[in-house]
Chain A
Amino acid sequence: MFITNTETVPGKNIIDCFGVVSGSTVRAKHVGRDIMAGIKNVFGGELRGYTELLNESRDEAINRMKAQATEMGANAIVNVRFSTSSVAAGAAEIYVYGTAVRVE
């Protein structure tokens, strides 16, 4: 499956278009990591626990979007956009969407 954030898949011709597909996930880290992040907040620097959390969630969201596109018969997703929001305390919400297409 081709995933791009451009409007086309460079070097390929788009044959069919299936509309917007999306994937989303909400994940929380356990309270131990939250506390560690709170301590780290005092000194600054990378919050590894949270980086990991967001990366995991993003992968999961992309997989879900791919699953949706595959079911519709697409083999590529173009113009992919990410958005992150914090809808619950200590939990991250990742949303990814794009246009499902079939390329030759």
Chain B
Amino acid sequence: MAYQPRLPKTNPNIGRQRPLQDLLLIGSALLALLFLLYWLLGLAIDKAINQLSPELEQQWFANFASKPEPSPQQAYLQQLTQDLQKCSTVPYPVNVHFIDKAIANAGVMPGGTMLLYQGLLEKLDSENALAFVLAHELAHLQHRDHLRGFGRALVLAVLTSTLTGSSNAGQVFLPATELGMAQHSQQREFAADATALSLLQCYYGHTGGAEVFFQSMLQQESSKLPSWFDSHPKLQLRLDALQQQRQQHGYPLAAVTPLPLFTAQ
């Protein structure tokens, strides 16, 4: 037996390498599938939410809400919300929670709980401006966006984990799923703004002060990045949408009601 020193000329152990084509092909096919499923399940969720009566929702979630701390702001906000609610179609009582923190934010939770932070109140100069913020949150309740957002997040989580299994390939789709969630959320925000403006018109007979909150926030908005991945649209776009709606429906502008002074804490 003799040893013949030789090397193979080609390397059959490496298959055809087309990394970029593979990435584009597989990635786009999976994305298309994911978007299709997400869209279909989104429709199913919207249908299911229409089936779920507000009374039932109230029953399910009422126990989770805690009692708010009594304060002058609290009583005032609760009264204003109740007055505004007469113009809306929210069928259950809404409980406002005033939170004494410097964050400029407000939100709703399932079961008709509305949260409003001190920081937001400080940015407003009139009752009308405050009423617009409350009306915006009422509109979310009326559109049942709190349930929609929750449902969609759940569907996305289940969908990506089924598709990608135990591997952490889910991170590949993270940007895409975030984009989908953000786009849906932005649509709901525009819809809530529109409803809030009509609530304001219904309650005061004019829409003065509606844009105050957005304008005060606009000075702070420093991000020049596009807002595709944000849950809320750009403030300028929201202001433009309000202006357009005003012109379309011929909503008048009039003098605003000042905010009461909260002296006692």
Contacts and interface: CB of A to CB of B under 8 A. Distances in A.
Interface of A: 14-19, 21-25, 31, 34-35, 63-64, 67-68, 71-73, 88-90, 101
B250 interface: no
Question: Which size class do B's interface residues fall under?
Answer: 10 to 19
Given A72-B6, A72-B8, A89 B1 contact: no
12 contacts: A16-B1, A16-B3, A19-B6, A23-B12, A25-B13, A31-B163, A35-B165, A68-B8, A68-B12, A68-B13, A71-B10, A72-B7
Closest 5 CB pairs of A and B: A89-B167, A67-B12, A71-B8, A64-B12, A72-B6
A90 B1 contact: no
Interface of B: 1-10, 12-13, 15, 162-167
A15 B167 CA distance: 49
Contacts, number: 55
Contacts of B3: 16-19
A22 B2 contact: no
B13 A73 contact: no
Contacts of A16: 1-4
A18 B4 contact: yes
Contacts of B5: 19
B166 A23 contact: no
A15 B2 contact: yes
A102 B17 CA distance: 32
A73 B6 CA distance: 9
A64 B1 contact: no
A60 to B, nearest CB: 9
Contacts of A71: 8-10
B84 to A, nearest CB: 50
A65 B43 CA distance: 53
Given A25-B15, A72-B7, 15 more contacts: A14-B1, A15-B1, A15-B2, A16-B3, A17-B1, A17-B3, A18-B6, A23-B12, A24-B13, A25-B13, A35-B162, A64-B13, A71-B8, A72-B8, A88-B167
A31 B1 CA distance: 50
Nearest to A34: B165
Nearest to A16: B4
A79 B170 CA distance: 43
Contact of B13 (A19, A22, A31, A72): A22
A18 B13 CA distance: 18
Contacts of B162: 35
A71 B162 CA distance: 45
Nearest to B9: A71
B159 to A, nearest CB: 12
Contacts of A63: 12
A73 B4 contact: yes
Given A17-B2, A31-B163, A34-B165, A23 B13 contact: yes
B10 A89 contact: no
